[in-house]
Structure 1
Amino acid sequence: MKDVFASAKLGPVTLRNRVIKAATFEGRTPDALVTDDLIEYHRAPAAGGVGMTTVAYCAVTPGGRTDRHQIWMRPQAVPGLKRLIDAVHAEGAAVSAQLGHAGPVANAASNRAPALAPGKLFSPLGMRTTRRPDTAEIRAVVRAHAEAARLAEAAGFDAVELHFGHNYLVSSFFSPLLNRRRDQYGGSLAGRARLAREIAQAVREEVGDRLAVTAKLNMDDGIAGGLRIEESLQIGRWLEDDGALDALELTVGSSLFNPMYYFHGDAPRFEFARVFRPPLRWGLQLGGRAFLREYPYREAYLLDLARQFRHELTMPLILLGGITNKQTMDLAMDEGFEFVAMARALLRQPDLLLHMRRDPATRSLCTHCNKCMPTIFERTNCVLTAAAPATSARCRS
């Protein structure tokens, strides 16, 4: 069995261990640029022992953000990203940039730019109808990913993670429910997977073997008519055969229709409603149980689905979901996964890994209340921990 705390190769990068801080939007970039608050957010788990931390979310275009406060990859962002990377490297960890386009999850009103989707649909996030891009616009999105990867390399990132999950743009193209196109980017599964494969190839061609390239891939959308695991497995096979990726991080769920599917645990309906303005607030108050469904929490809750990918693929896989103690990490290694990714447990305790190394029986203090979820719209934090001054707090708009 692999030792989760031993060094490991991720493509061309050597990580000091097999634990990755997963991408979770930080809510600490009010001007869409790096702040000292964001730097500290990533420095803390690096000092706490993770092998790599993931900066989220670095959009490839201004309209590809979920709202206008998020970083989008442009030359003006590079100096701040360099400061962040230097701070993380000084603690001995590597850094990855999560690159993607939010697609139908983008708030068009906040971004002051149309939200893209495979076809037209009404998005309650921006109270707008999404726009169906033509082939030229889709190819521009592919180029934008390559350009964002180039800027990530210039900033000094060790890796990039491509966002192919949660019904963001690429994931929405996978979905039979959302993608009713009849051109080369729709119809058959091969057509619906074309955008992902083109993006992965374009990014690999841009960065060569100088950066690790991973992708966060939905195994199951968790909605009727959405992507299911049988089709996702085939997409995984194609991505493996294409050879552009160094690893897949396996996830589930839909930010549009079923976000709790990738969190599990308590559904913070009241806290979510309080963050948003009417009429979205009213909608959550009235229909919150349909949108924020409850899935009982258990350790390694995505393992049963991810195990099917491990049986089918030979490429490195990153297990996500309910990784909070050394026993679960050892289980992941025993099951053949190369890395594990953690989010909420590290938000609760950035130094959790240091405690685990001293005492393997250490248990996370995270209660899976998920009240951290609504804080992403102001300043991501664990509500059970005394928060530092909100230097970049803002309201959802």
Structure 2
Amino acid sequence: MTPPDVFTPGRIGPLVLRNRTIKAATYEGLSHRGRVTRDLIDFHAAYARGGVGMTTVAYCAVDTDGRTDRHQVVWTDGAMPGLRALTDAVHAEGAAASVQIGHGGPVAEARSNRSPALAPSARVNVIAMNKSREATVADLQRIVAAHGRAARLAVEAGFDAVEVHLGHNYLASAFLSPKLNGRDDEYGGGLRNRARLARQIMAAVREEVGDRIAIIAKMNMDDGAPGGFWLDEAIPVAQWLEADGTLDALEMTSGSSLLNPMYLFKGDVPLEEFAGVMPQPIKAGVKVIGHRLLKHYPYTDGFLLEDAKQIRAAVGLPMILLGGVTSRAVMDTAMAEGFEFVAMARALLREPDLVNRIKDDESRRSLCIHCNKCMPTNYTGTRCVLVDRRTSRTATWGKPEGYAEPSGEWDASHRAG
């Protein structure tokens, strides 16, 4: 069959996108006390205006103990007006809006959540310098139900798709990992047991939303750590999810926020910048041993393609290629290899209108230099540090229409820029 043109419409379940490009989920650092801000709305409206078929809000925790940052949006009634304003703004620009939901598990910020991080087995998080406790079956049942509720609220907020986070050793991904999951109950041991939580989460999401919006799963292919989850187990899990009928598309990722954070990103390691945004004593630790935790991997275009092709060959679901999508050539390669969509992250942080630029000029490629200095900015408002913000997005922290400001003083220390 002739591969589709990336600039033609594409279908994910009940959703038809105007083209096959997606702004990938990258935590924005622009919410405040669990609520949407004007900056967060402007952030996603810019990508919609810049030509993407869909932009992904990242990420909205399904419960307070699943947050990886104290300001992250949580699915509460108070967050709904701002989320609705966000989806309205994206739709006004002609694009679709997706929202990533999940539970941080061992990656969660235990201190600001005032609740121990949850994990398959108790462990110490060297990066966050906290200890997680083993999740009980009751904890897991609550979190599964919370995913379903979050998906239902996503429909009510006007989202066109929900992306369930099954990667990066957040809770569901940690259960998949034989390195992190040392349980001996029905959630541990063999792969079917380790995949039980992910499958229950996806089933709860499908039960709540049916076919009203598209359901996407973002799942690891490789944790990037010896003894962790890898392709040989990712393939059957992807096949089980497809057979369950609980998702409409699959996006494969890699890396572990616990064990190997740079494995996904490839390119330079901005140790100095990471240390600069960390509190003590984590700041000192990053300076001393950061090179051991944040490893360097050379960047190449389409760097997840070869591994993702193994999943592509094993399932019939529509698939989204993530990783190093920077030009029309990479997009065309993805289409030729059987991927129906491409997802872009750092390239769009550098140029929010890159999709329109590539559409107008097929030889155009991203200006991103893969310095990864955008990564530490998610503590102060995710952005490309090479862009002069005086001539691009302005950090206003204003209130969108219908936005209910949280009680208490505005936290100026958390403003972007």
TM bin, normalised by shorter chain, reads over 0.9
Match for 1:380 among 375, 379, 382? Answer: 382
Deviations 1:66-120 (A, max 9, x none): 0211001111111100000000000000001100000111110011122110011
Q: Is the 8 A contact 1:105 1:125 kept in 2?
A: no
Measured in 1, the distance between the counterparts of 2:30 and 2:179 equals: 33
Match for 1:104 among 88, 106, 124? Answer: 106
Aligned residue for 2:72? 70
| 1:111-260 matches, cutoff 5 A | 111-260=113-262
Measured in 2, the distance between the counterparts of 1:52 and 1:17 equals: 8
TM-score under structure 1 length normalisation? 0.98
RCO higher in 1 or 2 (8 Å CA, sep ≥ 6)? Answer: 2
Measured in 2, the distance between the counterparts of 1:22 and 1:238 equals: 24
**Local SS of the residue matching 2:211:** coil
Q: CA deviation at 1:257?
A: 1.5
Structure 1 position 351 matched with structure 2 position 353: yes
Structure 1 position 84 matched with structure 2 position 96: no
Query: Which one-letter code corresponds to 1:113 in the other structure?
Result: S
Aligned residue for 2:14? 12
Aligned residue for 2:34? 32
Q: Give unpaired runs (5+ residues) of structure 1.
A: none
Q: Is the 8 A contact 1:377 1:394 kept in 2?
A: no
Q: Is the 8 A contact 2:128 2:282 kept in 1?
A: no
Q: Is the 8 A contact 1:109 1:126 kept in 2?
A: no
Q: CA deviation at 1:165?
A: 0.3
Q: Is the 8 A contact 1:107 1:125 kept in 2?
A: no
Query: Which one-letter code corresponds to 1:147 in the other structure?
Result: R
**Local SS of the residue matching 1:198:** helix
Q: Is the 8 A contact 1:106 1:125 kept in 2?
A: no
Instruction: Let me know the Cα RMSD of the aligned residues.
Output: 1.2
Q: Is the 8 A contact 2:30 2:40 kept in 1?
A: yes
Query: Which one-letter code corresponds to 1:356 in the other structure?
Result: I
Measured in 1, the distance between the counterparts of 2:95 and 2:395 equals: 26
Q: CA deviation at 1:128?
A: 2.6
Deviations 1:195-251 (A, max 9, x none): 000000110010000010001000000001110110111111111111110011010
CA distance 1:207–1:181, change in 2 (3 Å): same
Query: Which one-letter code corresponds to 2:346 in the other structure?
Result: R
Structure 1 position 293 matched with structure 2 position 295: yes
Deviations 1:14-60 (A, max 9, x none): 10001000000000112210000000000001001100000001000
Q: Is the 8 A contact 1:64 1:100 kept in 2?
A: yes
Query: Which one-letter code corresponds to 1:127 in the other structure?
Result: M
Aligned residue for 1:337? 339
- Count the aligned residue pairs: 396
Measured in 1, the distance between the counterparts of 2:414 and 2:82 equals: 23
Aligned residue for 1:21? 23
Aligned residue for 1:271? 273
Structure 1 window deviating more from structure 2 (274-283 vs 206-215): it is 274-283
Structure 1 window deviating more from structure 2 (339-348 vs 284-293): it is 284-293
Deviations 1:135-159 (A, max 9, x none): 1110110000000011111101001
Q: Is the 8 A contact 2:62 2:150 kept in 1?
A: yes
Measured in 1, the distance between the counterparts of 2:83 and 2:262 equals: 30
Query: Which one-letter code corresponds to 2:46 in the other structure?
Result: A
Aligned-residue sequence identity (percent) comes to 57
Deviations 1:164-213 (A, max 9, x none): 00000000000101100011111110000000000001100100000100
CA distance 1:42–1:371, change in 2 (3 Å): same
Q: Is the 8 A contact 2:60 2:72 kept in 1?
A: yes
Q: Give unpaired runs (5+ residues) of structure 2.
A: 398-411
TM-score under structure 2 length normalisation? 0.93
Measured in 1, the distance between the counterparts of 2:45 and 2:130 equals: 37
Aligned residue for 1:360? 362
**Local SS of the residue matching 1:84:** helix
Measured in 1, the distance between the counterparts of 2:62 and 2:210 equals: 19
**Local SS of the residue matching 2:262:** helix
**Local SS of the residue matching 2:58:** strand
Measured in 2, the distance between the counterparts of 1:358 and 1:128 equals: 49
Q: CA deviation at 1:287?
A: 1.1
